[in-house]
Structure 1
Amino acid sequence: SEASRRIMGGDLSGRLPVTGVGDEFDRLSENLNAMLARIATLNEGLKQVSDNIAHDLKTPLTRLRNRAEATLSGKQKPTDYRQALEGTIAESDQLIKTFNAILMISRLEAGYSSENMNRVDLAEAVRDVVELYEPVAEEAGVSLEADAREAVSVNGNRELIGQALSNIVDNAIKYSTGANAQPAVRVTLERTGADVRLSVADNGHGIPDDGDRARATERFVRLEKSRSQPGSGLGLSLAKAVMTFHNGRLELLPGNPGLSVVMSFPVREDH
């Protein structure tokens, strides 16, 4: 048919006709159309990643080169060389983190392997992340507390959930620092009906605008207030991809003051 010829020619926007009678040919057409839609989505994601890499990584790479060139030009003191090298290493580490985040998001969106899916104790995950970030929070003058007394487990990937929660806690500490006389971050785990909610709330400036909260989970998006903070703009994007992989939701809710980022997992009862 004309539609199949267009698809074979590379036009993935074409779809096979469905007559509506519900026979085997209709079911085959529906399955093929769903597959084509998935391929088109993955292709668009790949294009977006390529565009983002070209646009957003050009600046740090240029800065890296300029720093090295400036260090080589003229005579420098040993301390100047050391300072330049330390800056280069820090910039390189940030670039590596950015690339790793991009790769992980792409893998999750393309269908990450579910081989490592097990029962994950979310209370234990909360304790581990809070323990990891307690020194960071203390150095920043931020109170970091956790309320995860109830033993709740979900079916998931322990490493991915831990990475997503770490990104969210890191953001909360970063953006609550200096925004309040007593900056604080609280991690709460609770079961509500058919969901398990893991929320990270801070009392910083927050994101008052609904549109900005929706944009904050897009790749490389950095809102105006975050421009002065180090980062790639991928932390919440990765957290959202992790939650989508787990058939869950990532919500950004306004606080009073601050922001609450909620990871909602569906509960599957084991019998």
Structure 2
Amino acid sequence: SGSGDEFDRLSESLNAMLGRIEKLNEGLRQVSDNIAHDLKTPLTRLRNKAEAALSSREDGSQSGALEEIIAESDQLIRTFNALLMISRVEAGSAVAEMSDVDLSQIVADCVELYEPAAEDKALKLEADVPPGVVVSGNRELIGQALGNLMDNAIKYAEGASNPLIRVAMTKSGNEAVLTVADHGPGIPEDMYREVLKRFVRLDESRSKPGTGLGLSLVEAVMEMHRGSLTLSATDPDEKDGKGLTVRMVFPARAT
């Protein structure tokens, strides 16, 4: 009825619970289908390369085949590790590890870590981060989420006419807004919600390495921190190379 009495509060709690159950069920159905589709290909490649290694003992190319098998195995391990991390976050098992963390320092460390990778791709990584912004969170998961965004930005901005990748943070009231913006090809607006789902990769991304789990993990981390994640175009007026800006909004603490 909107009166705010006990029945209203109970119905709100039940609706929130049912909405969460529906989302988890949908995620389970989607992941089952995508695992069957996306893991079948690398497993088939792995088997074929093992078979090739077995038959190449005489011509001396066995070593190269084994190196390729190891690379394929590493990619599969990364995929399963990402799935386990998302499940851990969504199950709330990391909540007990929440504490006051210096978000500014996490961002600074992450930018320093990814600067050499950006330089190798002829990209410029620029940071505008005020010091001393504190949030309640998990340092490892925030660093993982930000690392995923920066890795994506470097991967897709390679060769863009504007080589700048900008990481910025602002504090407004009790919110800390962290953005990662690039000038790569971007994502169509009608696909913003779709790319947050597990294993979803746009056709243009199929030629690049990845699991399709990076943004799913970022969204799960933001939900755990009671924050939000939004996507938008960096250069909406550009015909090509609209870029992508990802905003992570955290509830902030006093400095």
**TM band (smaller chain):** 0.7 to 0.9
Task: Output aligned runs, 1:221-232, within 5 Å.
Answer: 221-232=200-211
The count of residues paired between Structure 1 and Structure 2 equals 249
Of 87, 93, 98, which aligns to 2:68? 87
Question: After the TM superposition, which residues 18-97 of structure 1 pair with which residues of structure 2 at under 5 Å, given as runs?
Answer: 38-78=20-60, 80-97=61-78
Task: Rate the CA distance shift 1:249–1:84 in 2: closer, same or farther, 3 A.
Answer: same
One-letter amino acid of the structure 2 residue matched with residue 87 of structure 1: E
Cα deviation 1:83-121 (Å, max 9, x = unaligned): 212211111111111111111112222223311101111
Deviations 1:147-175 (A, max 9, x none): 11332010001100000000000000000
TM-score (norm 2): 0.86
Q: CA deviation at 1:28?
A: 7.5
| Match of residue 114 from structure 1 | 95
CA offset digits 1:50-91 (Å, max 9, x no partner): 33222211111111111111222255543x222212211111
For 1:139, the equivalent position in structure 2 comes to: 120
Checking the alignment, whether the CA contact within 8 Å between 1:49 and 1:102 is kept in structure 2 is no
Q: Residue 148 of structure 1 contacts residue 190 of structure 1 at CA under 8 Å; is this kept in 2?
A: yes
Any gaps of 5 or more consecutive residues in structure 2? 236-241
CA distance in 2, matches of 1:44, 1:171: 26
Q: Secondary structure at the match of 1:229?
A: coil
- In 2 relative to 1, CA 204–30 (structure 1 residues): closer, same or farther, beyond 3 Å? closer
Instruction: Identify which of 201, 209, 216 aligns with 2:181.
Output: 201
Aligned alpha-carbon RMSD (Å): 2.7
8 Å CA contact 1:188–1:198 kept in 2: the answer is yes
Query: Whole-Å Cα distance in 1 between the matches of residues 215 and 180 of structure 2?
Result: 12
SS in 2 for 1:144: strand
Partner letter of residue 232 of structure 2?
A: L
Q: Which amino acid aligns with 1:247?
A: R
Q: Which has the higher contact order (CA 8 A, sep 6+)?
A: 2
- Structure 2 residue aligned with 1:260: 245
User: Which whole-Å CA distance do the structure 1 matches of 2:141 and 2:46 have between them?
Assistant: 30
Q: Look up the match of 1:105.
A: 86
The separation in 1 between residues aligned to 2:122 and 2:196, in whole angstroms, is: 27
Contact in 2 for aligned 1:249/1:264 (Cα 8 Å): yes
Q: Aligned AA for 1:236?
A: L
How far apart in 2 are the matches of 1:107 and 1:230? 24
> What is the CA deviation profile of residues 241-262 of structure 1, one whole-angstrom value per residue up to 9, with x for unaligned ones?
1001111111111011411111
Distance 1:239 1:56 in 2: 20
How far apart are residue 146 of structure 1 and its match? 1.2
Aligned to 1:15: none
Give 3-state SS (helix, strand or coil) of 1:187's partner.
Answer: strand
Alignment partners' CA distance in 2, 1:206 and 1:30: 37
